[in-house]
Amino acid sequence: MPEKTDLIREEISDKLKKAGYKLTPQREITVATLIENQATLLTAEEIFMAVKSKNPSIGLATVYRTLDLLDELSIVNKKQFHDGLTRYDVFISSNKIQPYYLVCSNCGKMQEIKGDMFSDVSSYIQTKHQFVVKVQDVTFHGVCDSCQNSERV
């Protein structure tokens, strides 16, 4: 889906510009890496490895600074999981559908799922409690398919 990716890239570039930042090559590579890996939640270390494979001259500190900046501008969503690691997720309005997360309590594998099954929940909350939902943070804990297969209980 190249069109959607371009939209996301553009929106991120806009947000940076409005906040007075340029989309430098280092930032651009970091942003591109996040967009490419939207379906998986990467740690800063994993993002750094992917960025480094594209441009070996970019250091870990630069990637950390970029991630901090993106977090500050609400371009990424920092998620802390029970394994103690922080993972980053691109979170912008072009992604109209908010993700939800599946976490395997056996192997720790995390999946980000896109689906609009919660739009009904949001409107229910708004009607019932006069509360406008801006961000949903939904995480399901359970057992992933490969763990189910290997356990066969």
The interface with Zn ion within residues 109-128 (CB under 5 A) comprises 109
Q: Does 58 bind Zn ion (CB under 5 A)?
A: no
Residues 127-146 touching Zn ion, rule: CB under 5 A, are 144
Q: Judged by CB under 5 A, which of 39, 107, 113, 117 binds Zn ion?
A: 107
d(CA 36, CA 100): 18
Q: Is 142 strand, coil or helix? A: strand
Q: How far apart are CA 89 and CA 33, in angstroms?
A: 11
Minimum distance from residue 105 beta carbon to Zn ion (Å) = 8
Within a 13 Å sphere around the CA of 85, how many CA atoms are in the beta-carbon half?
Answer: 12
Question: Nearer Cβ to Zn ion, position 58 or 110?
Answer: 110
Query: In angstroms, what is the minimal distance from the CB of 141 to Zn ion?
Result: 11
Least separation in angstroms between CB 88 and Zn ion:
21
Under the binding rule (CB under 5 A), the answer on residue 106 touching Zn ion is yes
Q: Determine if residue 84 is left, alpha or beta; phi over 0 gives left, psi from -120 to 50 gives alpha, anything else beta.
A: left
Q: List phi, psi (to 5°) of 11.
A: -65, -40
Would you count residue 104 as binding Zn ion (CB under 5 A)? yes
Tell me, what amino acid is at 69?
L
Binding site for Zn ion (CB under 5 A): 104, 106-107, 109, 144, 147
